[in-house]
Amino acid sequence: MSPGSSVEAFSDESQNPGVRGFLHRPAQSANAGLVLTHGAGSNSRAPLLQAVAEAFTGAGFTVLRCDLPFRQAKSFGPPRPGDAAFDREGLKNALHTLRKIVSGRMFLGGHSYGGRQATMLCAAEPGLVNGLLLFSYPLHPPAKPQQLRIQHLPDLQTDSLFVHGTRDGFGSIEEMEAALKVIAARKELMPVDNAGHDLGFKGKSVRTELPATVLAAFQKFFQ
């Protein structure tokens, strides 16, 4: 954690669904906010989210990494098919909560399932945020490339930075490049060499350099 910054458990039950997770406050604010959320099998404590939050906080962002409603309801297991709409409401509430703290530009990000829900929310509500940061977008189920999850992408009008491993079983770099062509907004695909769906944040072999690389790409893209 950067000197002077802080992180605290956070909860706001004034909305339904409620907002729970961890709030990172920078030592010196750049007056920008970022909501980060997790994948289907994870939670807001995911090492990738923690590392990214710390990198962005060091650059002056106030970051809220939050548990989606399905994870608030149960501590393990994937979301049910009917959970997605409520999870998107949870993301919208998290943005509303962070806007009470940050008055500047607002960004939304997520890993895998969380990132997909973020794109669906923004496709339905253009102008909701200034940009999207998407880790390991789950383009299709592993070994099922015909089941593309791109139906909403033509409606996405939010500038988006996609961070994707070159060995991701949920979509190859070539498949991602083809799929992202349907997005009318500005978009960029940042490949991570020899990384799978976890982007090197599983087990003991953590890619410590990745968060700083993502931050640099993000600042260049959204400058």
Cα(147)–Cα(163) distance, integer angstroms: 21
Q: Which domain holds residue 213?
A: 6-221
Residue 1 has pLDDT above 90, yes or no: no
- 143-178 in b/e form (b: 16+ CB < 10 A) is eeeeeebbeebeebbbbbbbbbbeebebbbbebbee
Average pLDDT over residues 69-89: 95
56 within some domain: yes
55 within some domain: yes
Nearest one of 6, 210, 17 to 96, comparing CA atoms: 17
Cα(179)–Cα(1) distance, integer angstroms: 36
pLDDT confidence tier of residue 212, bands split at 50, 70 and 90: very high
Nearest-5° Cα angle at 90, 108 to 2: 45
Cα(163)–Cα(77) distance, integer angstroms: 25
45 within some domain: yes
Query: By percentage, how much of the chain surpasses pLDDT 90?
Result: 91
Q: What's the domain count of the chain?
A: 1
1 within some domain: no
15 within some domain: yes
Instruction: Identify the pLDDT of residue 2.
Output: 72
Cα(42)–Cα(14) distance, integer angstroms: 24
Q: What is the mean pLDDT of the chain?
A: 95
pTM for this prediction = 0.95
Cα(63)–Cα(170) distance, integer angstroms: 27
CATH number of the CATH domain containing 123: 3.40.50.1820
